[in-house]
A = this chain, B = another copy of it.
């Protein structure tokens, strides 16, 4: 793995240096990213946090912070408002502020997705200045193909620019969606297109859904087109809904080895478990993504609760 990376240009030396430090921190010195995603309380409201197989711990938002503070994550991505309330008790988590979010209440068959930036970058900078937390970056969800695409592209481009000027990393969640996209959301070629688009926006990482096709090609290999298209923007895959830990790790291992992805961004697969199980899974993910010690070793860590 290449653990070094050049900062984007067009920013001051101080910002560049800060970006380098944040890059090292977010990738834990490995050049790969283990992002713990915790923005679902808006995106899916309370659906992901209660009922079914979901651990009882997950009903309380603090569960997310407890995991993130004890597990070896590269960053914990959630909304600024939540960090403003819990950060005082979890001052060592590397935070990634997710700057836009929407609910899933409007049905996609009638409404193309529209998600706007919540806080201005001036407000983000002000927050960071006073909070004294290790905020390493910002995140933004983009829906290429939505009829509101133009609005989101501009917000994303400006946010990435300003993040870099503050020395922050920029991570884009890129999900093609909307009536024009229909059922092709996970088409490998479309996902590659979205990854390439995000490269043109100048983001440091792009989070995509794992590609799917109907011809039996292994999923991880399909990821290759996206990784190539993204160029220097590093690609990580979303984890999706909860699966068995062993299956999760096997899939991730394939994405890393065959798809050449640069890590993972996982939410539900972590926080829907009890604290103990969540932390064990995070250690296994860290071993795979950051330490690069292989699937077998990762699987053994699952047992060490």
Contact = CB atoms under 8 A, between A and B. Distances in A.
Contacts of A149: 102-103, 105-106
A246 interface: no
Interface in A158-204: 158, 160-162, 164-165, 176, 178, 180-181, 189-190, 192-194, 196-197, 199-203
Contacts of A164: 84
| Residue among A83, A147, A150, A178 with most chain B CB within 10 A | A150
A78 interface: yes
Interface in A207-253: 225, 228-233
Nearest to A165: B126
Contact of A11 (B11, B61, B130, B162): B130
A268 to B, nearest CB: 15
A160 B105 contact: no
Contact of A161 (B62, B123, B147): B123
Classify chain A: how many residues form its interface, as a range.
35 or more
A22 interface: no
A118 B158 contact: yes
Contact of A150 (B41, B88, B116, B147): B116
Contacts of A127: 10, 161
Interface of A: 6, 8-12, 39, 41-42, 45-47, 49-50, 59-62, 78-88, 101-103, 105-107, 110-111, 114-120, 123, 126-128, 130-133, 144-145, 147, 149-151, 153-154, 157-158, 160-162, 164-165, 176, 178, 180-181, 189-190, 192-194, 196-197, 199-203, 225, 228-233
A46 B9 contact: no
A9 B133 contact: yes
A39 B115 CA distance: 25
Closest 6 pairs between A and B when the two form their complex, measured CB to CB:
A81-B202, A45-B193, A118-B157, A105-B145, A61-B231, A10-B127
A17 to B, nearest CB: 13
Contacts of A62: 231-232
